[in-house]
Structure 1
Amino acid sequence: MSLLKQEIENHLYTHILPFWIKLKDTEQGGFFGKVNFDLTVDKKAEKGGIAASRFLWSFSAAYRITKKAEYLECAHHAYNFLVKKVYDHEHEGLFWQVDYTGKPIEDQKHIYTQSFGIYALSEYYRVTLKEEALEYAQKIFRLIEMYGFDGVNNAYKEEFDRQWKEVPNDKLSENGVIADITTNTHLHVLEAYTNLYKATKSDEVKERLTNLIELFYKKIYNDKTRYLDVFFDREWNPLLNLKSFGHDIEASWLIDDALKVINLSNERYIQMVIDIAYNIADAAILEDGSLANEQHENDIDYTRIWWVQAEAIVGFQNAYERTNDKRFLRLVEGLWTYIKNHIVDHREGGEWFWSVEADGRPTERAIAESWKTPYHNSRFCLEMIERMGKK
């Protein structure tokens, strides 16, 4: 494991983070919104609210683990853009999308976006103890609970207009359905509240986090198939027979992280975490060591998505820590070998490809854009550095 740790540390410090640092927009704030597949930078591309939050989280967390000053400086830079440009000081909450100067161009308020705001602001507070950052995180928490939580159906809603009137969930629905409830939003609310609890130790946050874990167990996790359902109507009826392998293995370790943070030792929940990991290991690991993307009905998508591989490593490492089953260590090593050989963009100035097609070709999609930021792969590195022990 020491060689693996050394390789991952080196990759984070010399390949991933330097790529994103170079995208710092010193004129307009934040980070440039797009790097095309040919590695040209589009300095006038839009900047997403989710992306802005993910930049803030990534550099804050990198500083927390490494104490390298350049990462803290980038975190300060990301924070200033988020609170000055992406936060709506008239109607509160984070915009979906702003232009390259920071003017809102898609002013919807999505609970998914707000979650990442909490996640990032909590992390920034943890490394700076800047009270303003925590106040913003708590303000967004109250917005989610006020507007985003449906107490009747015990579910978090999805999409709102700028004035917080609920609208159809166009932003986070796929596969031909418009979902009133998504596992993805619930997962990232859970992730956000976990980090907010780390920052505050608030009893209110703990209560909401406990409720979310129970929601995953009772409503989202299917104990017969050992998969998480993905899209639901307002009454929690699943809309599709869809299995998202990447979200499942990501949920396995994020739910477990929440359990550990609030010190909730519940055998039902722990078994769910373990069963999900075994299920994905059995169903979605391919012969080359990578993880397939998803399955709709009987149709499996064999595209190797960058974030799916990254989250799978953390998920299987966590499963090893829970079970001591060395099968999970072998899966971690296989995934890392696949990432090094196929997902990492070894071109001068490259980072990671968005994905690799079933035939082995890199997908010709932007290397950086609103949905592709340092969050998933820097987090995989930071998690593994922490889990394998600091030097």
Structure 2
Amino acid sequence: MSKLKSEIENHLLNHILPFWINLKDEQNGGFFGKVNYDLTVNKEADKGGIAASRFLWSFSAAYRVTKRPEYLECAHHAYSFLVEKIYDHEHQGLFWQVDYKGNPVEDQKHVYTQSFGVYALSEYYLITKSEEALQYANKIFNLIETIGFDKDNNAYKEEFDREWNELPNEKLSENGVVAEITTNTHLHVLEAYTNLYKASAEEVVKERLTNLIEIFYEKIYDKDTKFLNVFFDKHWNSLLHLKSFGHDIEASWLIDDALNVLGLEDERFVQMVIDIAYNIADAAILEDGSLANEQHNDDVDLTRIWWVQAEAMVGFHNAYERTNDEKFLTLVNGLWEYTKNNIVDYRDGGEWYWSVEPDGKPTERAVGEPWKTPYHNSRFCLEMMERIENK
């Protein structure tokens, strides 16, 4: 295990984070919005609200674990951009997207974006004890709870305009449906509230986080198949026969993280966490050790996506910690070998490819953009460094 830890730590410090540090925009704030597949940087690309939050979380967490001053400096830089440009001081909340100078270009407010703001600001508070940062996190938490939550059906809403009028959920729907409720948004609200509770220990956050775990168990998790449903109408009816393997294994460890933070040892929830991990191990691990992307009806998408591999490694390691089943360590090692040999981009100035096609070739897609930031793979590294160290 120590060899695995040292490999991952070295990869984070010398490969992943240097790539993103080099994208720091000293002139306009934040980080450059796009790195093309050929590794050229578009310094005038738009900057996403989700991406800005993920940069803040990544460098804050990296500093918390390593205490390296360059990460703290990047966290301060990311924080300034988030509160000055991504936060809407007129109507509150975080914009979906701004231009490279920080002017809003897509001013919608999405609960998914807000959740990442809470996640990132809480992490920044943990390393700085900045009361201002915690106040922003709580402001966004209150927006989500007062405007973004539907008490009638116990569900978080999705998309709003700048002034917080509800819109159809165009931003976070796919596969030909427009979903009024998504598992993805609920998962990242849960992740955000877990971090906010670590930061604030407020009773109201504890209550809302506990409710979210109940939502997963009662509404999202299919107790017969052990999969999570993905898209729902406003009455919690599933809209598609879709299995998102990456989200399921990510949910397994994020729910468990919430249970640990709350000190909640409810057998129903613990069993759900374990059953999801075994199910994804059986359903989605491929012969080369990687994890497939998703399945829609009978059609399995065999694209190996960067974040799916990263989250699977944390999810299976968490399952090992829960069960002591060596099978999960074998899966982690197989995923890491696959990732090192296929997903990691060893070109000069590269990071990780977006994905690898079923034929084994890297997908020619941007390697830095509003959906691809240091968050997933730096978190994998940091989680593994901490978990192996604590053993």
TM-score normalised according to structure 2 size: 1.00
Letter in 2 for 1:2: S
Give the match for residue 220 of structure 2: 220
Following superposition of structure 1 onto structure 2, how do residues 100-119 of structure 1 map, counting pairs within 5 Å? 100-119=100-119
* Distance in 2 of aligned mates of 1:7 and 1:200: 34
* Distance in 2 of aligned mates of 1:200 and 1:146: 19
Letter in 2 for 1:85: K
Deviations 1:206-265 (A, max 9, x none): 000000000000000000000000000000000000000000000000000000000001
* Distance in 2 of aligned mates of 1:377 and 1:260: 22
Give the match for residue 99 of structure 1: 99
Give the match for residue 205 of structure 2: 205
Deviations 1:80-105 (A, max 9, x none): 00000000000000000000000000
* Distance in 2 of aligned mates of 1:262 and 1:390: 19
* Distance in 2 of aligned mates of 1:209 and 1:305: 29
Is 1:153 aligned to residue 188 of structure 2? no
Is 1:273 aligned to residue 273 of structure 2? yes
Following superposition of structure 1 onto structure 2, how do residues 130-149 of structure 1 map, counting pairs within 5 Å? 130-149=130-149
Give the match for residue 171 of structure 2: 171
Give the match for residue 123 of structure 1: 123
Give the match for residue 325 of structure 1: 325
Following superposition of structure 1 onto structure 2, how do residues 184-333 of structure 1 map, counting pairs within 5 Å? 184-333=184-333
List alignment gaps of at least 5 residues for structure 1: none
Q: Secondary structure at the match of 1:264?
A: coil
Cα 1:390–1:154 change in 2 (3 A) is closer
List alignment gaps of at least 5 residues for structure 2: none
Letter in 1 for 2:39: L
Report how many aligned residue pairs link the two structures: 391
* Distance in 2 of aligned mates of 1:346 and 1:306: 14
* Distance in 1 of aligned mates of 2:365 and 2:97: 20
Deviations 1:110-148 (A, max 9, x none): 000000000000000000001000000000000000110
Give the match for residue 13 of structure 1: 13
Deviations 1:64-91 (A, max 9, x none): 0000000000000000000000000000
Q: CA deviation at 1:390?
A: 6.4
Give the match for residue 85 of structure 1: 85
Give the match for residue 34 of structure 1: 34
Q: CA deviation at 1:31?
A: 0.1
* Distance in 2 of aligned mates of 1:107 and 1:356: 33
Letter in 2 for 1:323: T
* Distance in 2 of aligned mates of 1:90 and 1:100: 20
Deviations 1:331-364 (A, max 9, x none): 0000000000000000000000000000000000
Deviations 1:26-66 (A, max 9, x none): 00000000000000000000000000000000000000000
Q: Secondary structure at the match of 2:389?
A: coil
Q: CA deviation at 1:289?
A: 0.2
Letter in 2 for 1:274: I
* Distance in 2 of aligned mates of 1:114 and 1:33: 19
* Distance in 2 of aligned mates of 1:215 and 1:287: 34
* Distance in 2 of aligned mates of 1:156 and 1:116: 14
* Distance in 2 of aligned mates of 1:132 and 1:232: 36
* Distance in 2 of aligned mates of 1:101 and 1:390: 42
Give the match for residue 375 of structure 1: 375
Q: Secondary structure at the match of 1:388?
A: helix
Q: CA deviation at 1:382?
A: 0.1
Q: Secondary structure at the match of 1:39?
A: coil
* Distance in 2 of aligned mates of 1:211 and 1:149: 12
Letter in 1 for 2:371: W
* Distance in 1 of aligned mates of 2:297 and 2:80: 45
* Distance in 1 of aligned mates of 2:203 and 2:264: 13
Give the match for residue 25 of structure 1: 25
Deviations 1:2-40 (A, max 9, x none): 000000000000000000000000000000000000000
